[in-house]
Amino acid sequence: MRNSILYLLVIINLALYGENDTTSKAYTTDFNTFLRLLEETHPDPYSAFGGKVEFRLAAQKTRDNIKCLRNKEQFQNELANFIARLGDGHTFISSDEKEPEYFQPEKYLPLSFKVATDGLFIQSASKEYTKYIGHKLLAINGISIDSLMQKVIKIEPAENQYGAMYSLCKNISNQKYAELFLGRISNLRLTLLDMNGVIYNLYINYVEKPAWSVVNSLIKLNKDNNLLYSQILDKGVKAGYLAWNGVISREVIEGMEPTDPQYKKMINWVFNIIGCEKPTDNTKAIQRIPELYGVFTDLLKKMKKQQIEYLVIDLRYNSGGMTPLCFPLLYMLYGDKYLDYSDKTQYKELLSPLLLKKWNLKTIEDYNKINGTDYVLGDFILGSIFGSSKTGTIEEKRKDLSCITFHGGIGKQYTAELNGRPIYQPHIIVLCSPKTFSAAYHFLYYLTQIGKATVIGVQSSQAGNSFMETTPFEFPNTKIKGSISNAVQIMFPNDPEKGKVFMPDFAMKWEDYSKYNFDENSELLYCLDLIKQNKIKAH
């Protein structure tokens, strides 16, 4: 009997060893696949590690660590740590699938933080913690904010310090992610500073379903969806207002073929922003998505009729999308001034198999045939973020659909008859935050470059001189999905500091938010006050 039990234990151990060995090989294979894709696709995966030698040594160390892993979640975390060293917000893994045997109900902090230029503060809370809203965060479990930022950028890429602050806000709110840089925890000791200058400690637990307290804003917005909405503000001063929370709109979806592999994914992404349940019928779903160019045209015409001098474009919650979607808006605002703008940005796309796959092309020969080029894989396409060269006379540019519409014709009913004249040219004020990223940052950049727009809020987490574009991939074994940057942009060639952090004209500190009692629309209230005080002048 005893021998039988020993034999059974041996068999079980061998089976477990074999299973773990197979799992380890699957993770190692996927990691090797990622390394190949990264080196083929990314413009420069080496410099962030200190060079190619250090990159390869770090890869070897990560591969050795992977051999000891026992579940997919551990593998994702190890891979995320490696990717984070790139400091590149467009290279990431996005799979959040959970293996049933390791699933546990997620727990959240019953308060959330917001980034100010000079630190973090409590923006919202569950009912029992509302008295702490606005209090500034100094440390967590005795660890300073600066030290926590250094910890969090080891698990999530950050292109500048405001990206690190934003990542800290997101990750500390979820116990699962907080434990990745704090270790095993069930509660936190928050060191806070109140408005009277008193420093104190707050002990708080993670909970499964926080009962969030609703605090009404001092300014009412006509918000019938969470993607795109506009109105005329009249709160002591008149101003047009457009909130755009993703560089995406109905026009983009309508311009796609239903057979496109990205079609359904795009619709799902849009409805995730809109914040309501998606109709099962895609035709009905598309009709629920706001139309960008019609909304923008109507707003400009209303402003022109009332001679309203200021237009506030709110990009605080816009993390990007498709940059070319913005170009017709620039034409509506600036006309020939936009067409004549000489783009100083440098944009270099690395040709790779993964990028060709994204473009639905099989070979580099297919690309060359379509574009009349003779590139080889590994070459860079040199250009600008504008995409179009905008060559020719001003009359030719006015008729060039690549200049005045999206995707070669979308929106032409609003721009084709402008003939170089703006619909209306108010002074633009852009509201931004660390969430303003990628294509939203591009829009902000061009509004300031072409129209001398005023920027209010907190610095973007996007760096102007950085890697760009998402190029999707999926691992063969774990099915983990992600993206690798395929381009490098230099928007400030002579100003590396500004290329790292774009400073708003009116950067908001903690004390600025306190003046508005930490209202969720403090940036907008501050903007209106600046207009009243004549600190922002229409050109």
pLDDT digits 0-9 by tens, 54-105 = 999 999 999 999 999 989 999 999 999 999 999 999 999 985 554 444 456 7
Structural domain boundaries of the chain? 2-96, 111-205, 228-249+290-343+390-463+501-532
**Per residue in 366-380, pLDDT tens?**
999 999 999 999 999
Measuring CA to CA, which residue among 95, 89, 61, 59 is closest to residue 77? 95
Task: Tell me how far apart the alpha carbons of residues 515 and 195 are, in angstroms, rounded to a whole number.
Answer: 11
> pLDDT-derived band of residue 24, with 50, 70 and 90 as boundaries?
confident
529: tokens are 């006050």
- Alpha helix stretches (DSSP H) within 67-137: 72-84
Task: Tell me how far apart the alpha carbons of residues 363 and 140 are, in angstroms, rounded to a whole number.
Answer: 52
pLDDT of residue 311: 98
* DSSP-based three-state secondary structure for 376: coil
52: tokens are 């190619």
Query: How far, in whole angstroms, is CA 82 from its chain's centroid?
Result: 20
The topology (CATH level 3) of 111-205 is Pdz3 Domain (2.30.42)
Q: Is a pLDDT exceeding 80 seen at residue 6?
A: no
The region of weakest confidence among 249-263, 403-417, 453-467 is: 249-263
CA angle 435, 172, 272 (to 5 degrees): 45
pLDDT of residue 448: 97
Q: What is the mean pLDDT of residues 370-396?
A: 86
Residues 6 or more apart whose CB falls under 8 angstroms from that of 282 comprise 258, 264, 267
> pLDDT-derived band of residue 389, with 50, 70 and 90 as boundaries?
low
Query: How far, in whole angstroms, is CA 312 from its chain's centroid?
Result: 21
Measure Cα distances from 230 to 167, 240, 277, 291 in Å: 29, 8, 22, 12
Q: Using a pLDDT cut of 70, give the percent of the chain over it.
A: 93
Residues 6 or more apart whose CB falls under 8 angstroms from that of 205 comprise 186, 187
Are the CB atoms for 509 and 117 separated by under 8 Å? yes
Residues 6 or more apart whose CB falls under 8 angstroms from that of 241 comprise 221, 230, 231, 232, 233, 311, 312, 314, 524
Give the helix/strand (H/E) hosting 245.
Answer: none
Measuring CA to CA, which residue among 140, 94, 104 is closest to residue 120? 140
Are the CB atoms for 87 and 157 separated by under 8 Å? yes
Residue 105 carries which DSSP code? -
Q: Up-side HSE of residue 90: CA atoms within 13 Å toward CB?
A: 25
Strand (E) positions, 220-337?
Answer: 228-234, 238-244, 310-314
Element counts in the chain: helices (H) and strands (E) = 21, 19
pTM above 0.75, yes or no: yes
pLDDT of residue 95: 58
Are the CB atoms for 43 and 346 separated by under 8 Å? no
**Per residue in 350-364, pLDDT tens?**
999 999 999 999 999
Specify the amino acid at residue 392. Answer: G
pLDDT of residue 96: 54
211: tokens are 């009962």
Compute the mean pLDDT over every residue in the chain, rounded to the nearest whole number.
92
Determine how β-strand 310-314 pairs with β-strand 238-244. Answer: parallel
Specify the amino acid at residue 361. Answer: L
- Alpha helix stretches (DSSP H) within 153-198: 161-172, 175-182
Q: What is the mean pLDDT of residues 272-283?
A: 89
Q: What is the mean pLDDT of residues 245-259?
A: 93
CA angle 272, 274, 278 (to 5 degrees): 65
Helix axes 175-182, 145-152, angle to 10 degrees: 100
Which residue's structure tokens are 């299973």? 19
Are the CB atoms for 132 and 111 separated by under 8 Å? yes
If one counts every other C-beta atom within 10 angstroms of the C-beta of residue 12, the result is 10
Q: Is a pLDDT exceeding 90 seen at residue 114?
A: yes
Q: What is the mean pLDDT of residues 391-395?
A: 87
Q: Is a pLDDT exceeding 90 seen at residue 386?
A: no
Task: Tell me how far apart the alpha carbons of residues 193 and 96 are, in angstroms, rounded to a whole number.
Answer: 35
Measuring CA to CA, which residue among 517, 515, 489 is closest to residue 502? 489
Are the CB atoms for 323 and 406 separated by under 8 Å? no
The DSSP-derived string for 187-231 is: EEEEEEE-TTS-EEEEEEE-BSS--BPP---SS----SSSSEEEE
Q: Is a pLDDT exceeding 90 seen at residue 432?
A: yes
Q: Using a pLDDT cut of 90, give the percent of the chain over it.
A: 83
Secondary structure, 3-state, 240-260? EEEEECCECCHHHHHCCCCCC
Task: Tell me how far apart the alpha carbons of residues 153 and 171 are, in angstroms, rounded to a whole number.
Answer: 11
Q: Is a pLDDT exceeding 80 seen at residue 523?
A: yes
Residues 6 or more apart whose CB falls under 8 angstroms from that of 172 comprise 109, 113, 140, 148, 178, 188
Classify domain 228-249+290-343+390-463+501-532 at the CATH superfamily level: 2-enoyl-CoA Hydratase; Chain A, domain 1 (3.90.226.10)
Are the CB atoms for 471 and 358 separated by under 8 Å? yes
**Per residue in 470-516, pLDDT tens?**
999 999 999 999 999 999 999 999 999 999 999 999 999 999 999 99
Strand (E) positions, 58-148?
Answer: 92-93, 111-116, 119-125, 136-140, 143-144
pLDDT of residue 64: 95
Task: Tell me how far apart the alpha carbons of residues 274 and 268 are, in angstroms, rounded to a whole number.
Answer: 10
